[in-house]
Chain A
């Protein structure tokens, strides 16, 4: 079966760094997306990884290990506006996005 595993909730302090892990099992693999979703809003694209390694984009970085079925999203210099849910979504062999429930990130001052 297809499965996504992310922590349900995480808490971090403003200005700090946080890493959100994601493990996945899919039927085939064509890359993995990370999306940010604020409550009551649609998701917004953060990153896409298809090769192993780290992709850096400003304060956000995403890492992928295809052999381990593992990815993480790294957020640096946390700001209050980063409080949101972060969704890990791999693409399976049919280019279908498989959505997990997401990780709710709470930022405290």
Chain B
């Protein structure tokens, strides 16, 4: 099946610094990638939809200047958490949809656990 690679899987940073998370589709092209945030024992929360070659679409309540998304190619989207604070500590997951697929199945990355000290 299709593979989505997310990096880093774990990152610890100091408050005030910025952290970049990469999401790559390894064996398929994805015009659209999705970024989620998940708190412990909670549902996935869609943060934004990343569109190749254009600006991301952010969900209500998500600060676009705080969570910068770049989708520069059909296989790579990045999420940058700027000026991170302890409340940004969470599990961030990306997913991608194979543009050639017929079910629209989403393929998920492994997730990135961010801890801000």
Contacts and interface: CB of A to CB of B under 8 A. Distances in A.
**Size band of the B side of the interface?**
20 to 34
Contact of B111 (A42, A45, A95, A101): A42
Given A45-B107, A95-B104, A40 B43 contact: no
A2 B27 CA distance: 34
A41 B111 contact: yes
A43 B44 contact: yes
Among B44, B45, B113, the one with the most A-chain Cβ atoms within 10 Å of its Cβ is B44
Given A40-B113, A44-B108, A87 B44 contact: yes
Contacts of B105: 33, 45, 48
Contacts, number: 44
B48 to A, nearest CB: 12
Interface of B: 1, 6, 41-46, 91, 93, 95, 103-111, 113
24 contacts: A31-B103, A33-B106, A40-B91, A41-B111, A42-B6, A42-B93, A42-B95, A42-B108, A42-B109, A42-B111, A43-B44, A43-B108, A44-B108, A45-B105, A48-B104, A48-B105, A87-B44, A97-B46, A99-B43, A99-B44, A99-B46, A100-B43, A101-B41, A102-B43
